[in-house]
């Protein structure tokens, strides 16, 4: 599990991370958190995951990453592909 803090919402971080994960052959998901951070579950070969984490530490243009907190999970269902998860609390701009 990875939690990324800083200016990471509203800058296409999730879509860019999905693209980077697919380029690196990493599986999992990414989502916004209510506190303004971004959380991701990443799975894959160690070198592939490390390459994605190196990308996460910088992020896409417009992002300002101030922290990357990593936590290894012992057990989690194996993921297929890499997807953007929209949390229940999230409302798209303009929606009621």
User: Which residue out of 18, 23, 31, 32 is catalytically annotated?
Assistant: 32
Other C-beta atoms closer than 10 Å to the C-beta of 40 total 24
Catalytic, 14? Answer yes
pTM recorded for the entire structure: 0.86
Kindly tell me the sign of the dihedral angle through the C-alpha atoms of 19, 37, 66, 12.
positive
Q: What are the Cα distances from residue 17, in Å, to 3, 46, 48? A: 13, 17, 13
pLDDT digits (tens, 9 = 90+) for 49-66: 999 999 999 999 999 999
pLDDT score for 29: 95
CA 52 to chain centre: 10
Looking at every residue in the chain, the average pLDDT score rounds to: 90
User: Which residue out of 14, 18, 31, 72 is catalytically annotated?
Assistant: 14
Contact 40, 17 (CB under 8 A): yes
């Amino acid at each position: 599990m990875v939690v990324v803090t800083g200016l990471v919402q509203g800058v296409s971080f999730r879509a860019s991370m999905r693209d980077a994960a697919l380029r690196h052959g990493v599986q999992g998901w990414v989502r916004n958190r209510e506190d303004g951070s971004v959380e991701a579950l990443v799975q894959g070969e160690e070198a592939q995951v490390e390459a994605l984490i190196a990308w996460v530490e910088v992020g896409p243009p417009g992002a300002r990453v101030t922290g990357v907190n990593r936590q290894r999970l012992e057990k989690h269902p194996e993921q297929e592909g890499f997807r953007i998860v929209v949390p229940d609390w999230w409302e798209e701009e303009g929606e009621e």
